Structure 1
Amino acid sequence: MRKFLLLTACSFLICSFSYAQKVSGIVKGSFVDSSSADGLSDATISVMTQKDSSLISFTLSSNSGYFEIKNLDTGAYVLLFSYQGYPNLKKQFSINAANPIMDFGKVKVVQDYQMLGEVIIKDEAPIKVKGDTIAFNAGAFKVLKPNATAEDLLKKLPGVQVERDGTVKAQGENVQKIYVDGKEFFGNDPKLATKNLTADMIDQVEVYDDMSDQAKFSGVDDGSRTKAINLKLKKDKNKGMFGRAMAGYGSDDRYQSSLNASYFKGATKVSVIARSNNTNNVGFSNNDMVGGFGGSSSGITKNWTAGVNYSDLWGKNLELTGSYFFNHTNNFNSNNSVRVTDYKTRAGADSTVKRLSQTGSGNLNDNHRINLRMIYTIDSMSSIIYSPRINFQNSSSIRKDSTLSFDIDETPYTVGDSWSNRENTGQGFSWSNDLTYRRKFHKRGRSFSVNLSNTYNTSDRDGLTMSRIGSFNNGVKASDQFINQKTLQENGTENYGVSVSYTEPIARDKVMEFNYAYNKNSNESDREVYEFNDANGKFDVKNLLQTNLFENGNESNRFGTNYRVVKKKYNYQLGMAVQRTTLQSNNLSKNTFIEQSYTNLFPTAIFRYQFARSKNLRFSYRGRTSQPGTSQLQETLDQSNALYWSKGNASLNQEYSNNMELNYNSFDMVKYRNFFFRFNFSNTMNRIVNNVITDTAVIRSITNLPFDEKIARGVQLTRPVNANGAYNFGGNINLGFPINMMEGGNFNTNTSFNSSRDVSYIDNLRNFTKNLSLGESLRLSYTYKEKLDAAIGASVNYNQVTNTFRKEQNSKYYTYSASADVSYIFPKNLVLATDLDYYTNTGLAAGYNQAYTLWNASISKLMLKNNRGELKLSVFDILKQNRSISRTFSENYIEDVQNSVVRQFFMLSFTYNLNRMGGNSGGGNNRGQGMGGGGRDFRMMQ
């Protein structure tokens, strides 16, 4: 921690020293109309350097036409006046120590005045708010680190967070899609874009709520919103070839290599990426796994990936985007855990068991993913969109567990010990199609569209389970139960859907939408379990209790209408839909058939108010249903985990939830301040929750096990049931603004909170679990010219868990973190960079309340023509303190887990940049990307 404070102090001493050397210059004046002498309000006043027209700062004039821009260094500048209906006007001036203030007084502007050689620039505000979209000008958020990625740029943006695993959050929500110039990039896998695109390619970052193609076309919100980011590339990146290649090798046989290359020529864009490493730098998301197996986010991972992304315009009518991506992962994890479980029966027998576990696991996974999107424009009024997706997967895994359990209520004594070995191999395939026809009519607002969709998924999995469960009586071993099984499981899902929408304008600012949707979903699960036969050494004794052939069907018809009104300052939408759903559950093995039918209403309401150009408020409400899944309905006992059994429930009903959200966005273009908040509330009726059974008598009655079959103490059975009473309320508030006394400094704070109540059953007794979470994070960043980039941050999170039934599990705990990132560019292109993260927590199990510091550093030399090459020596985990600790909650336990991590290593790497845009050979490190030429420094405004 002392090293952290020393590093922080040093970085800000540099900042203070740099600041002390500057002259705080001011330029001011007023712009008025030459005829009326009225002040011209909201005119854009920009200050640029005379040398290369680099944008230094800007502001908007007041109601009287007055403007003032502060904190200018000594130098020669150009003042540019820009106002709609008037020609651009520029004036030259200088700032120096003898004359730090330049006052132009009143400047009269004539509407028909024409100036030769005038300079025209676009409105390059650092942040723009347009409707629900927030656009960040990348040039206003410098990333000085050589070879910085899009991920590094996103870390600079107000309201955007990048977690340690690369997950991106915007305005408190996970970003699920990242587009590049409005098009899919490797099927919208966020990490493939953020970790493989370089920061100097990006001109703007747009954050918004993405809607379906149908909603974008008709203008009627259908509720399919997801948080998305669009990375708009610079115009000079639209022709030529660019990319980079990197290779590195280090201690402990650590290695990493990567390649990304792109060729752009007009509408033709081809990108290739490849990556290989054993440093846990995966670079993609696990959202393409088929069948729910073959993936792990903990431990140490070796990874190989490769892919190609293509987009083009074929002729005048066909727009095509497609990609192929392959990944191979080899993951190993060794973890230790402490789980405290409370057992309470109806008879009142209570006990608390502490379970110490050690686990070793390995996972191999190969995945092939193909995405395609075609838009065919029939004519100016109609078009067709077709989007097929294909995914193949092969995986294998092995897991070994050993567990020792103690009753800790009074005098501790052993109640159980167990071990298990599990092996699984599996294959998966998925194929989906989405076809949309849409047509607009000559009457504005009238449209028609129809969508056809289908999905086919299949997965096959073979597994071996060998385990032993030891039972104790008052601390003395009583018996051992052995399980040696082979499981063969096949799952298949088919889904077909059709939807139709028609919109009709009923006034200039009003429109009605009528829609219909039909959906049919079929699931089949065939599970066979065989016991090991000691007589012949084969798995040929069929376990009839755990063998099951199950079919599930879901068919729905939905009719709806929406009424939308669009005014100058506000718009709103009211809608209602009615849906008839039929569920069918057919257990062919047990010869049982269940059919359920429901009629539900789906109300919707959306309201949006535009206070000003950069201030808006949005409220939305939606009701929805969710049907139980195949595994939840399947009445089959799963004993693949020796201590944690599960069984489905064919009598489950569907869920119904209410969801409300309130959003506010504001940005002050003059003071460069941003403020937003988001609140959400939801509650669920007939929520599908777990009933955890620990009473051996109840387990026996539910599972129908023979009376003479031993059920060890500590075994628990989980079964889904419906329950009411669950809700969730949360939100976050974000504020960001410049530090006026620290030119180049920015401050950002984020406050988050969440209060939820979940419901569960423990031995058929209802239990409410309330979770309160409060968090506060602060971040201060500073950039000085093209030399220094520094940032410090701190956060604290408080968690409180209370149980109405399991009061023994009530707990409170804190987590604290602090971070520092500093990079400095010395003469002769030497770059020093370091980042430090400090973590500590309280309230966890003994041995898991640990404080540790993760400190990384690197020194690099830029070389070759135009700094295309970078030779870097880096060290990871300088203090050898890296670790991974987490806490989880369930219906009747609290568990603390520590996983494997990558420890300290040194690495020497070389990166080569290729940049041949527009036929020219450019430099490989355009650090501090901005407008015009080179890096730009937006100075803070009063």
Structure 2
Amino acid sequence: MKNLFLLAVLCLLMGKLHAQSPARFTLQGRAVDTSAAPLASSTVMLLSPRDSSLVNFGRTDEKGAFSFKNLKAGNYILKISFVGYMPYNQLVKPTGEALVDLGALKLKPITRELMEVVVRTAKAPLTIKGDTIEYNASSFKVPPGSTVEDLLRKLPGVQVDQDGNIRAQGQEVKKVTVDGKNFFGNDPKLATKNLQADAIQKVQVYNDKTEQAKLTGVEDGKKEKTVNLELKEEFKKGGFGKLTAGAGPASNGISPRADAKGNYNKFDAKRQFSVIGLGNNTNQQGLSWNDYQDFRGSNSFNWNDNADFGFSSGGRFIFFGGDEDNESLSIPVDGRAGRGFSNNVAGGANYNYDTKKTKLSTSYYYSQTRLQLDAERNRRNFLEDGSFRTAETSGQTNFNANHRVSLRYEKAIDSLNTIIFINNSRLGNGNAGLFRLQEQFRVNGTSGPELLSTRNRTNNRTIAATFGSANTLLYRLKFKKKGRSFAASATYQINTSDGTLNLDATNEFFQATSVNEQLRRIRQDQETTSLRSEYKASLLFIEPFAKKFFWESFYNFSLRYDEVDRNVLDVADVGNSRNDSLSRYYRNNYIYNRLGSSVRYSYKGLNLAVGLAGQQFTIDGRFAVDQTSSAFRFIRRTFTTVVPNVSLNYDMKNNRYVYGGYDLNVRIPSSRDLQPFPNNANPLFITEGNPNLLPELQHGVNMGFSYFNPGNFTNFFANLYGNYYVNQIVYSQLVDRQTLVTRSFPENLTGGRTIGSYLDYGFPLKKTKATLRLNTQLNFGRNLTNIDSVRNETYNQSYNIGTRLDLTPVEWLTFYGNANVGISQTRYSINTGQNQTIITNNFGGDLNLKLPAGIYLTSALNYRVYKNERFGFDQRVPLLNVSAYHILGKAKKAEVRLSAVDLLNRNLNVSQYAGQNFVSEERVQTLARYFLLSFTYNMRGVQAKMRRENF
């Protein structure tokens, strides 16, 4: 690690030494039109005559002037571009003088006769048009066989971290498109990790409008940072793709490693077709966010929220708390990459059809993972007069498979009327097995001796199948009067889940004087069937009045039906019997209405909206131990809330942006939280619902400022936010002092709050050569809960400081280094002796070298530190990956690579967390050192004809 950072510092020092050389000069001039009027904000670039690579860049000031200081003696190509004018090119040779003044440089307006000349001369490394930056991919050299992700790392103003997350102009990139079309939905990584860099002609970074702004045609001031990949023409004429296969010997007592993946693409002006696939036992799951949710068995991410109008927020107008687990079967399933030992298979296809009147985007994706997790966990729970520690070792095997289908169809009936249909569906199945040993130790006071109190052995198995589908029809009408528009939507959603949990648990109680014998041995079959369906409708009307004002009115309706049948059978040697205390059946009808209106002022980048809505939520539910029961209990309640909303978005001149606002979010209690039935899947931690819950109100304020200088690629981002909770839904606990069995139940408490800020500052140390990014995040929170009917206030303070250094000093060397230091302090009101400080540090670096004979070397080091001195926790995990590869053949289509993963053989997945009244730590055994020899073949120009029809 030290050697990598020393190399980075050496590169900077070399740059400084060169800067002190006397053979340097300053180049300046002015960009003007044919009438000598200055052309402000023109893009000015210095290129190398040898290969047209970018040496330096900038923008002219208000007088059209530019200046490049401290230039190394040598020849340069000066290139100036301005919208509507023919690019200016000039060869600059040093004169030996310290200052070379080119004077006024005239750009000619583009005429029809000059258009052909412009097309031939317009090629430039980058073009700046307002807040849009367009990069010429061929001007940024990457090794043959590189992916788009490698290309993005080379672009000034763009950063890609070790996990593949993208930031551009200081902001997170949320969408990557190919020729303006979606690629496997909105997951950026599926495009950047699967498309080849040599297929890309241009990379465009810009601020896209929100879906609601596109739908209505009225600016709401909100922007989404987007990257568009424009393909080269030759890659639109034939198919292209990439195939990789690798294998390695067994190590550390595990079976041999194997990895295979590939993709194929066929694009043209109207159509895009892509297929991707992978299979491995190297923990490379290739999971997107949706895949991760699928792996957890969640149904909460199949919402078509863009159809829920209101306050131009683009978010859900109704939020049901706790439904993300969808009647969880309570076996911990984790789909995060890099944990445990996994075998993975995934594949899918993406198809787009795009004409002026018809747009179709659809994809299918299948993924399956078999995951083995062996973990050690420690958790300390704090009570008013002491604490207890739970030590756990567990082993589990999970299998999960999911089919996902997405479709979006848009049809322009005419210039005023448009219809859109959206479908997102998923079909999943899985099974899991868990063996867990838990031992609980009682601790008196803050540092007394530990006494073994309880021992639990659990052997569970589950089988589950899920289906979810969301279907939305949107209608948009634009009136002839500019700004007047109407939109309507109708949505039907359905989620089903069927699962069986076979629970076998044995409990031993060493300190208890009297114990319910039913707690000593639990053998049960728990069958759960759930159905959730929802009908939603929304209306939106926008009317301009005066010259700069818009009146926006909306109506939302939702009818939701929930039905859950949970049947618990006690298993005995002579037969099974129904357990009425754990079984439950319930049906809930939820009716939601919201009517709101806001006034929006929009003029010259300033967007201010003030609105008010009234919403009413009614629940009509019934529950009992069995659906044939004659003793149903009922929940009939109505909640009415007035919801204000204020939003400010100001797009100032010179790429400065200010935003802020206030809103009130209403969280409705989930079906599970309302049912007063216990769940004993973990016999030492039993959960139960509360039918008296009220909706949670979250008052939120936020404000921020961002700045980006396209002349020198300096960016600054600042954000401040705060939340205050009324009737917050928290999970209180009652601990049996004899058995240490914990019962958790939801209730409402008022007074929780959070406040935080985030700062990010990035700037070039040397343009096109070195960029430094600094960021810090502060967060202060107050969380409330009741422990044994005593109010506990937990105060959290977290401080995170990070830095990132990108070095591309020469074509044959790149280095990307990062460091993040996190400190979290937690204080408890009921047991101040357990106050603690958690430290989580992460240091990393990626080094890429081009060696003689066409050999490339890549290495990545990640060093993680986890510390909690209060409980003597200190874990350090260094991970070193190294690979060397060689490009084969004259066409450079093939690659052979030797990779060493976790060369130091130290891989271990570690996490630590401090919560309401507890602190926990976890160690998961994870795939460690292995070697892989792989072969890659790049397909280019494959002739693959796609049947064409006349439309």
TM-score normalised by L of structure 2? 0.86
Q: For 1:564, what is the secondary structure of its paired residue?
A: strand
Report the equivalent of 1:393: 428
Check the 8 A contact 1:290/1:429 in 2, yes or no. no
The count of corresponding residues between Structure 1 and Structure 2 is: 886
Match of 2:547 in 1: 508
In the TM superposition, 1:7-156 aligns within 5 A as: 7-10=4-7, 12-13=9-10, 26=25, 28-31=27-30, 39-50=38-49, 53-70=52-69, 72=71, 75-83=74-82, 87-95=86-94, 102-107=100-105, 120-121=121-122, 125=126, 130=131, 137=135, 139=137, 144=142, 147-152=145-150
Question: What whole-Å deviation, never above 9, does each CA across 1:210-242 have from its counterpart, x for those lacking one?
Answer: 733x3422255889x896644433343444322
Q: Which moved more, 1:681-690 or 1:196-205?
A: 196-205
Q: Does 1:663 align with 2:704?
A: yes
Q: Give the Cα–Cα distance (whole angstroms) in 2 for the partners of residues 331 and 619 of structure 1.
A: 43
Q: Over residues 517-559 of structure 1, what are the superposed CA-to-partner deviations in whole Å (9 max), with x where a residue is unaligned?
A: 1111111111010001222xx4x20000001001122111111
Residue 714 of structure 1 pairs with residue 740 of structure 2: yes
Q: What is the alpha-carbon distance in structure 1 between the residues aligned to residue 78 and residue 173 of structure 2?
A: 39
1:549 aligns with 2:585: yes
Residue matched to 1:287: 293
Distance in 2 between residues matched to 1:27 and 1:65, nearest whole Å: 17
Superposition deviation, residue 762 in structure 1: 1.1
Aligned: 1:384 with 2:402: no
Give secondary structure in 2 for the equivalent of 1:527: strand
Answer whether contact 1:241 1:916 (CA < 8 A) is retained: yes
SS class of match (1:357) = strand
1:338 maps to 378
Which residue in 2 is equivalent to 1:732? 758
1:571 corresponds to which residue? 607
Moved more, 756-765 or 792-801: 756-765
SS in 2 for 1:879: coil
Q: 1:823 aligns to what?
A: 848
Please tell me the residue identity of whatever aligns with 1:842.
K
Which secondary structure does the structure 2 equivalent of 1:217 belong to?
Answer: helix
2:317 matched to which residue of 1? none
Q: 2:804 aligns with which of 779, 792, 796?
A: 779
Q: What is the distance in 1 between the residues matched to 2:246 and 2:716?
A: 42
Kept in 2, the 8 Å contact 1:775–1:796? The answer is yes
Residues 244, 576 of structure 1: CA spacing in aligned structure 2 closer, same or farther, 3 A cutoff?
A: same
Structure-2 change in CA distance of 1:681 and 1:389 (3 Å): same
Matched, 1:404 2:439: yes
Higher RCO, Cα 8 Å, sep 6+: 1
2:822 corresponds in structure 1 to 797
Moved more, 178-187 or 318-327: 178-187
Q: Which 10-residue stretch deviates more, 789-798 or 116-125?
A: 116-125
Q: Find the residue that maps to 1:560 and give its secondary structure.
A: strand
Distance 2:31 2:768 in 1: 30
Distance 2:127 2:34 in 1: 33
CA distance in structure 2 between the partners assigned to 1:467 and 1:301 by the alignment: 27
Q: Which position in structure 1 is the counterpart of 2:258?
A: 255
- CA positional deviation for 1:578: 0.9
Q: Is the 8 A contact 1:494 1:521 kept in 2?
A: yes
The answer on 1:267 being equivalent to 2:264 is: no
Kept after mapping to 1: 8 A contact 2:776/2:802: yes
Deviations 1:352-383 (A, max 9, x none): 21221101011001111111110011011111
Q: Are the structure 2 counterparts of residues 534 and 917 from structure 1 closer, same or farther at C-alpha, using a change threshold of 3 Å?
A: closer
Q: Structure 1 CA distance, aligned partners of 2:637 and 2:937?
A: 63
Superposed displacement of residue 683, structure 1: 2.0
- Taking structure 1 as reference, are residues 181 and 732 closer, same or farther at Cα in structure 2, changes over 3 Å only? farther
Residue 484 (str. 1) matches residue 523 (str. 2)? yes
Greater shift in the superposed pair: 588-597 or 251-260:
588-597
SS in 2 for 1:9: helix
**In the aligned structure 2, how far is the partner of 1:489 from the partner of 1:52?**
66
Q: Contact 2:156 / 2:713 at 8 angstroms: preserved in 1?
A: no
Q: Is the 8 A contact 1:209 1:228 kept in 2?
A: yes
**Of 867-876 and 86-95, the range deviating more from structure 2:** 86-95
Matching residue of 1:296: 335
For 2:109 and 2:162, the matched residues in 1 are separated by: 54
State the distance in 2 between where 1:226 and 1:332 align. 42
Secondary structure in 2 matching 1:473: coil
Instruction: Give the C-alpha shift of residue 295 in structure 1.
Output: 4.9
Identity %: 28
Return the letter of the residue paired with 1:875.
A
CA distance in 1, matches of 2:373, 2:746: 30
AA paired with 2:432? S
Q: How far does the alpha carbon of each residue in 1:332-366 deviate from its partner, in whole angstroms, 9 at most, with x for none? A: 1101111112234xxxxx23212211010110011
- State how far apart, in whole Å, the 1-side matches of 2:36 and 2:209 are: 46
Q: More displaced, 843-852 or 550-559? A: 843-852
In the TM superposition, what whole-angstrom CA distance separates every residue of 1:233-275 from its partner, at most 9, and x where no partner exists? 3343444322211111112211111101111011110010001
3-state SS of 2:368 partner: strand
Q: 1:198 to 1:758 in 2, by over 3 A?
A: farther
Partner of 1:748: 773
In structure 2, the CA distance between the partners of 1:847 and 1:261, relative to structure 1 (3 Å rule), is: farther
Aligned residue for 2:694, secondary structure, equals coil
Distance 2:436 2:110 in 1: 83
Shift of 1:136: 7.2
- In 1, are the aligned partners of 2:568 and 2:579 still within 8 Å (CA)? yes
2:914 is matched with which residue: 862, 870, 889?
889
* Counterpart for residue 936 of structure 1: none
Give the superposition deviation at 1:851. Answer: 2.0
* 3-state SS of 1:533 partner: coil
Aligned to 1:700: none
In 1: Cα distance, 2:10 partner to 2:34 partner:
52
d(CA) in 2 for partners of 1:55 and 1:603?
51
CA distance in 2, matches of 1:780, 1:402: 45
Distance 1:469 1:627 in 2: 36
Choose 911-920 or 440-449, whichever is displaced more: 911-920
Partner of 2:661: 620
Letter paired with 2:571:
F
Q: Is the 8 A contact 1:755 1:770 kept in 2?
A: yes
5+ residue gaps, structure 1: 345-349, 697-711, 921-942
AA of the residue aligned to 1:320: L
Shift of 1:312: 0.8
Q: Which residue of 2 aligns with 1:472?
A: 510
Distance 2:651 2:930 in 1: 53
Cα pair distance change 1:168/1:478, threshold 3 Å: farther
Query: What's 2:186 paired with?
Result: 188
Cα shift readout 1:813-854 (whole Å, capped 9, x = no counterpart): 222222121111122211011111112232157674122311
Provide the rounded CA distance (Å) in 2 between the counterparts of 1:138 and 1:414. 67
**Aligned residue type for 1:458:** T
Task: Decide whether the 8 Å contact of 1:861 with 1:870 is kept in 2.
Answer: yes
Query: Which residue number corresponds to residue 623 of structure 2?
Result: 587
Decide whether aligned partners of structure 1 residues 631 and 160 sit closer, same or farther in structure 2, where only a CA change above 3 A counts: farther
Question: CA separation of 1:798/1:195 partners in 2, compared to 1, >3 Å: closer, same or farther?
Answer: same
Give the equivalent residue in structure 2 for 1:677. Answer: 718
Change (3 A) 1:426 1:578: same
Partner in structure 1 of residue 926 of structure 2: 901
SS of aligned partner of 2:2: helix
State the Cα distance separating 1:95 from its structure 2 match: 4.5
8-17 or 712-721: bigger deviation: 8-17
2:560 equivalent to 1:560: no
- Structure 1 residue matching 2:679: 3-state secondary structure: coil
The change in CA–CA distance for 1:54 and 1:414 in structure 2 (over 3 A counts) is closer
